[in-house]
């Protein structure tokens, strides 16, 4: 009959065939056969402390490498724990695959162990979600999940693996192994590109707004070339704060003057205020370039005649075509270079006051003091990875720390992923510094991953802003209801640094600005996962306007 393989072996070997070498996971009954199969397949299982952390790590892997990260969790409650983290990956357009153990097929509908409708649960927060039906096709299922995660608009994909299929033996000759094939591309036709270039050339103040998938090193470099080729400022909107993201400087002032907005793989959604209302010129026109025809249709429905063009194409390949055609185009813009120069200055400049602002509270630091001190450290190495997670405190980091490689909590607006992101970043980048900026609310989600980091010898430095409150929500209360109605968002000035030491890491406690640089140096020199617990003022996130710069 020939050699037979378990379904679990098919899954593990399929991942290996597809180039996956590392799987982020948490053990459980339904997937122990895959753990066993991983030994022979040569897969490195990164065992974490919560299923959501495994998804966050796979998410970070996808963002940093462009290759789909893989998370593996058990069924039922393990799957349920993982699903919430998929929303962050979906908003960030991150290529990743969640493999979940599942009740046996013969148990379904009979009250099987941890039986729930897992594929239905994951469907709203994934590009695709299904349950495997045949042991011999498990490899093909895994390959399709990996392909879908990277095709079109990247994003998370889920596949459930019933435990009986993982234990079933299949004759090797009848196994449907995954095919390593090129990703299906949706290019921008040259004629369409030329028409878009003509639209941009005719505009007085065009603006290019890209989606989160281009927030990689290569994506940012490509946008810089596109900006030059088209003579139009290009930005990435990847934050739940949208146009108010302090990373973008005085972006609201730039938007208000724009007469043409080119959405490059960027959904017309709340982050760009649907390109309507008082924040925009009433006569502004829109071009939507997107691999998702449903989002192109939505832009057409929202903007009507104001939508000059709705084009179905991949964002990256469209940008490359526009650059090539733009550099060789004979069409001269109807404007001079003043608009690009003005807009770029508004986006890049920061208020001069940030260079000197200090805390008004003894024993606390203003966020600007924290990131003035941290900036020389992130600038030491151009390959530094910066992770920003949370609300007000992290927004100061995003605005003040210029880096090429950055991960943020993303359009989803969820928090808590930073420590998991840092571990995956360290594994993807074994040499350069990794800094995670987070608040004292955020650290509570996955502080136990410091144990994972210590166990796996994954050093990084967490800069923790500790103001003893959920500050973003406190600011909403202050702004909307008044300072006398602020409640329910208080925390304690906990010694998170000591908790990290107990997990096997390095801790620092800082109450004065002059002590921070030395604390960061010691954290880096420790060679351990480190937490610099900085006592900070409760300060709102920065809002930058042209009048301030």
CATH number of the CATH domain containing 409: 3.40.50.970
pLDDT score, position 255 = 96
Among candidate residues 305, 325, 348, the one where a domain is terminated: 348
193-248 confidence digits (pLDDT tens): 999 999 999 999 999 999 999 999 999 999 999 999 999 999 999 998 899 888 99
pLDDT score, position 183 = 66
pLDDT score, position 181 = 65
Backbone angles phi, psi at 520, to 5 degrees: -65, -40
Burial class (CB in 10 A: 0-12, 13-18, 19+), 342: middle
Q: Which residues contact 284 (CB under 8 A, 6 or more apart)?
A: 258, 259, 260, 261, 275, 306
Among candidate residues 174, 201, 223, the one where a domain is terminated: 174
* pTM of the full structure: 0.95
* 307 strand-pairing partners: 286
428 and 337 in a common domain:
no
500 and 403 in a common domain:
yes
CATH number, domain containing residue 236: 3.40.50.1220
Q: Residue 179 falls within a domain, yes or no?
A: no
Please give the residue range of the domain that contains residue 297. 190-348
Contact (Cβ atoms closer than 8 angstroms) between residue 279 and residue 250: no
Under DSSP, the state recorded for 109 is: T
365 and 503 in a common domain:
yes
* Pick from 75, 58, 31, 182: nearest CA to 126: 58
Of all helices (H) and strands (E), which one includes residue 158? strand 156-162
Q: Residue 181 falls within a domain, yes or no?
A: no
* Pick from 406, 357, 409: nearest CA to 539: 357
pLDDT score, position 106 = 86
pLDDT score, position 549 = 54
223 and 132 in a common domain:
no
Size of the chain in residues: 549
Among candidate residues 174, 207, 230, the one where a domain is terminated: 174
pLDDT score, position 331 = 63
Strands (E), 452-522: 460-466, 506-510
343 and 359 in a common domain:
no
pLDDT score, position 182 = 60
Tally the domains of the chain.
Answer: 3
Of all helices (H) and strands (E), which one includes residue 521? helix 516-526
C-alpha to C-alpha distance for 504 and 499, rounded to whole angstroms: 9
* Pick from 135, 124, 31: nearest CA to 78: 31
Contact (Cβ atoms closer than 8 angstroms) between residue 34 and residue 10: no
Cβ-based neighbour number of residue 431 at 10 Å: 8
C-alpha to C-alpha distance for 317 and 90, rounded to whole angstroms: 21
Q: Where are the alpha helices (DSSP H) in 233-378?
A: 251-257, 293-303, 315-328, 338-348, 367-378
First to last CA, the chain: 76
- Positions of the chain with pLDDT lower than 70, given as ranges: 1-2, 181-184, 330-335, 546-549
Which value, to the nearest 10 degrees, does the dihedral of the CA atoms of residues 17, 22, 27, 32 take?
20
341 and 367 in a common domain:
no
């Amino acid at each position: 009959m020939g050699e037979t393989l378990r379904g679990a072996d098919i899954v593990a070997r399929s991942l290996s065939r597809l180039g996956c070498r590392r799987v982020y996971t948490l053990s459980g009954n339904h997937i122990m056969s895959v753990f066993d199969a991983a030994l022979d397949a040569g897969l490195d299982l990164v065992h974490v402390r919560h299923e959501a952390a495994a998804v966050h790590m796979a998410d970070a892997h996808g963002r940093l490498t462009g290759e789909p990260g893989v998370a593996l969790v058990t069924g039922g409650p393990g799957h349920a724990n993982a699903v919430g983290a998929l929303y962050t990956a979906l908003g960030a357009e991150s290529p990743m695959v969640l493999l979940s153990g599942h009740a046996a097929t013969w148990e379904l509908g009979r009250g099987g162990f941890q039986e729930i409708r897992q594929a239905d649960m994951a469907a709203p927060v994934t590009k695709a979600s299904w349950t495997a039906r045949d042991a011999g096709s498990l490899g093909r299922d895994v390959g399709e999940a990996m392909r879908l995660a990277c095709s079109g608009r990247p994003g998370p994909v889920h596949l459930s693996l019933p435990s009986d299929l993982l234990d079933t033996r299949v004759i090797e000759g009848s196994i449907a192994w995954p095919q390593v094939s090129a990703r299906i591309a949706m290019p921008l036709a040259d004629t369409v590109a030329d028409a878009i270039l003509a639209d941009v050339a005719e505009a007085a103040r065009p603006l290019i707004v890209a989606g989160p998938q281009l927030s990689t090193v290569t994506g940012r470099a490509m946008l810089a070339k596109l900006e030059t080729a088209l003579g139009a400022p290009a930005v990435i909107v990847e934050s739940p704060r949208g146009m108010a993201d302090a990373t973008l400087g005085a972006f609201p002032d730039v938007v208000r003057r724009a007469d043409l907005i080119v959405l490059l793989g960027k959904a017309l959604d709340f982050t760009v205020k649907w390109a309507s209302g008082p924040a925009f010129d009433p006569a502004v026109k829109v071009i939507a370039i997107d691999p998702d025809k449903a989002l192109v249709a939505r832009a057409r429905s929202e903007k009507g005649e104001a939508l000059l063009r709705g084009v179905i194409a991949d964002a990256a390949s469209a940008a490359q075509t526009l650059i090539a055609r733009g550099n060789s185009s004979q069409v001269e813009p109807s404007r001079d270079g003043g608009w690009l120069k003005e807009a770029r200055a508004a986006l890049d400049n920061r208020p001069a006051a940030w260079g000197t602002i200090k805390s008004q509270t003894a024993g606390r630091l203003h966020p600007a003091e924290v990131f003035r001190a941290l900036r020389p450290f992130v600038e030491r190495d151009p390959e530094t990875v910066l992770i920003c997670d949370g609300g007000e405190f992290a927004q100061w980091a995003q605005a003040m720390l210029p880096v090429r490689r950055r991960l943020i909590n993303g359009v989803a607006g969820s928090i808590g992923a930073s420590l998991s992101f840092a571990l995956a970043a360290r594994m993807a980048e074994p040499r350069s510094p990794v800094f995670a900026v987070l608040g004292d609310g955020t650290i509570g989600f996955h502080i136990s991953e410091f144990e994972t980091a210590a166990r796996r010898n994954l050093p990084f430095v967490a800069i923790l802003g500790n103001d003893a409150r959920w500050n973003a929500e406190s600011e909403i209360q202050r702004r909307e209801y008044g300072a006398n109605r602020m409640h329910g968002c208080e925390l304690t000035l906990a010694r998170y640094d000591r908790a990290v030491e107990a997990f096997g890491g390095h801790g620092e406690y800082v109450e004065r600005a002059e002590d921070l640089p030395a604390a960061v140096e010691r954290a880096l020199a420790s060679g351990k996962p480190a937490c610099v617990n900085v006592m900070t003022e409760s300060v709102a996130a920065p809002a930058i306007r042209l009048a301030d710069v």
